[in-house]
Amino acid sequence: MSDITAPWGIEAPTALLVLADGTVIEGRGLGATGSAVAEVCFNTALTGYQEILTDPSYAGQIVTFTFPHIGNVGANDEDIEDLVPAARAGAVGAIFKADITNPSNYRAATDLDEWLKRRGVIALSGIDTRALTALIREKGMANAVIAHSPDGKFDIDDLKRQAQAWSGLVGLDLAKEVTSGQSSVWHETPWVWNEGYGEQEDPQLHVVAVDYGVKRNILRLLAGLGAKVTVVPAKTGADEILAMKPDGIFLSNGPGDPAATGEYAVPVIQDLLNTELPIFGICLGHQMLALALGARTEKMHQGHHGANHPVKDHTTGKVEIVSMNHGFAVDADSLPEGVEETHVSLFDGSNCGIALTGRPVFSVQHHPEASPGPQDSHYLFRRFVNLIRERKGEPALAEC
């Protein structure tokens, strides 16, 4: 047992986190039963746990929440981010300090524990999450197995072997696991207080979104700015995309190693770059756009996961507070001539955005569809739509 187990102890542990180095952390089991092997990261957000756990970019990961009280507002059917919930895209495990309490929010449809069971997410509570976070910061994001057994019976040696045998996220293409199975058209617009989500009625332009694990709120924001959004699977070819006659191309977020996904995605992106169409990428889409332009990506030590990350936009000089979720990053030193760095993390100086000089092509590493600032980065969607409107000879929308 590790000293990460909470100081008050676990009398009869019903869940374990077993790291590849042999560390065993005992806790109380929540959510689904069984076991799952994945990479352990930590997220520093105070709110938005449901959106975090359903973000397809977290596929292949176990999320440690640094905020101690998770679950207080319950769960509902509106705050889900994965496009195809049946695919169980998102985190496979969750780690909390405190036990889940009864929900106390008017939007709650169920408690978090029940929701985790339905989603198939294994959870563990009752440990010192600050100590686990410190361990990740020191040694990096570890491969691990999270296991939940209500009877408290575990084959620890086997769990250790599973954790040690897993190859990890480097070289792993997970976009193919979370992408849509077929093309579809998105109509839902952003949520409005006491009204819920709206329905698009009269789109003025057409965006094709390549789905590497797209989040719903990205699609809502595009639709809310007048775009008919056609969502296509990750392996859709450039000819098929162009046959849809888009006014712009969106490259979505997603999980896994961008170099692995890029084996089939980068050639398509390069073909799309040969057109004059505006292109906008987020997260994995940003990384693969960089690869298509000749840059490199690299695995990060602890990654960026949270909703309190300061990023500077060099094009405006402004600093915005953004949501982050990535374990790979673009190597800024590898950016070729003609590609400028537009955004940078003020935490560690890592690259957070690029643009192609003289072309309507740009991307960002962070998640501008989220609301940590609360809407510091929403201007990026207007920037993309304005590039489309400019190409069509239409007046620009105000970037607010």
| DSSP per residue, 245-300 | --SEEEE----S-HHHHHHHHHHHHHHHHTS---EEEETHHHHHHHHHTT--EEEE
Could you tell me if residue 8 is inside a domain? no
| Per-residue confidence (pLDDT) for residue 8, from 0 to 100 | 46
Structure-block tokens of residue 325: 């979720």
Q: Is 193 found in the same domain as 107? A: no
The answer to the question of residue 2 being in a domain is no
CA 379/CA 392 separation, integer angstroms: 20
* Residues linked to residue 325 through DSSP beta bridges, in sequence order: 305
Residue 361, beta-bridge partner list = 279
pLDDT digits (tens, 9 = 90+) for 168-221: 999 999 999 999 999 999 999 999 988 999 999 999 999 999 999 999 999 999
Residues 6+ positions from 283 with CB-CB distance below 8 Å: 57, 252, 253, 254, 325, 326, 365, 366, 367
**387: part of which helix (H) or strand (E)?**
helix 379-391
Please report whether residue 170 resides in a domain: no
Task: State the DSSP code for 304.
Answer: E
Q: Which of 39, 51, 283, 366 is catalytic?
A: 283
Whether residue 217 is found in the same domain as residue 339: yes
Q: Which of 355, 379, 392 is nearest to 246 (CA)?
A: 392
The residues, ordered by sequence, that sit 6+ positions from 153 with a Cβ below 8 Å of its Cβ are none
CA dist., res. 109 & res. 112, Å (int): 9
Quick check: is 9 in a domain?
A: no
pLDDT at 86: 52
Residue 296 included in any domain: yes
Residue 398's pLDDT is 84
| Domain total of the chain | 2
What residues contact 317, with CB distance under 8 A and at least 6 apart?
none
Same domain as 248, residue 121: no
Catalytic residue among 41, 177, 369, 378: 369
Q: Are residues 305 and 268 in the same domain?
A: yes
| 182 and 143, same domain (yes or no) | no
Q: DSSP letters along 123-136, please? A: EEESB-HHHHHHHH
Q: In terms of domains, do 93 and 224 share one?
A: no
Would you say residue 44 lies in a domain?
A: yes
CA angle 365, 238, 285 (to 5 degrees): 5
> Is 283 among the residues known to form the active site?
yes
The residue from 165, 186, 219 where one domain ends is 165
CATH of the domain at 281: 3.40.50.880
> What is the Cα–Cα distance from 87 to 179, expressed in whole angstroms?
9
Query: What's the token pair of residue 38?
Result: 């994945």
pLDDT at 89: 78
**Could you tell me which of 149, 146, 185 has the C-alpha nearest to residue 162?**
146
Per-position pLDDT tens, the chain of length 400 = 456 765 545 578 999 999 999 999 999 999 999 999 999 999 999 999 999 999 999 999 999 999 999 999 999 999 999 997 655 679 999 999 999 999 999 999 999 999 999 999 999 999 999 999 999 999 999 999 999 999 999 999 999 999 999 999 999 999 999 999 999 999 999 999 889 999 999 999 999 999 999 999 999 999 999 999 999 999 999 999 999 999 999 999 999 999 999 999 999 999 999 999 999 999 999 999 999 999 999 999 999 999 999 999 999 999 999 999 999 999 999 999 999 999 999 999 999 999 999 999 999 999 999 887 778 899 999 999 999 999 999 999 987 6
Q: Where does a domain end: 165, 192, 210?
A: 165
Q: How many C-beta atoms surround the C-beta of residue 124 within 10 A?
A: 28
Q: Are 333 and 290 in contact (CB under 8 A)?
A: no
Structural domain of 100: 15-165
pLDDT at 12: 85
Q: What is the pTM of this model?
A: 0.96
The tokens of 332 are what? Answer: 């800024």
Q: Are residues 129 and 80 part of one domain?
A: yes
340 and 363 both lie in a single domain: yes
User: Are residues 161 and 187 located together in one domain of the fold?
Assistant: no
Residue ending a domain, choose from 165, 193, 218: 165
Q: Where are the beta strands (DSSP E) in the chain?
A: 15-19, 24-31, 34-43, 61-65, 93-95, 122-125, 143-148, 184-186, 188-192, 196-199, 205-211, 227-233, 248-251, 279-282, 297-313, 318-330, 339-345, 351-356, 361-364
In a domain, residue 397? The reply is: no
Contacts of 178 (CB under 8 A, 6+ apart): 56, 59, 82, 84, 87, 89, 212, 213, 254, 255
- 260 and 144 inside one domain: no
Is 5 domain-assigned?
Answer: no
Same domain flag for 127 and 191? no
| 260 and 150 belong to one structural domain | no
Going from the C-alpha of 191 to that of each of 77, 85, 255, 263, 327, the distances in angstroms are 13, 19, 25, 36, 29
341 is catalytic: no
The enclosing domain of 150 has a CATH number of: 3.50.30.20
Supply angle C-alpha 110, 255, 183, rounded to 5. 80
Catalytic residue among 148, 304, 309, 367: 367
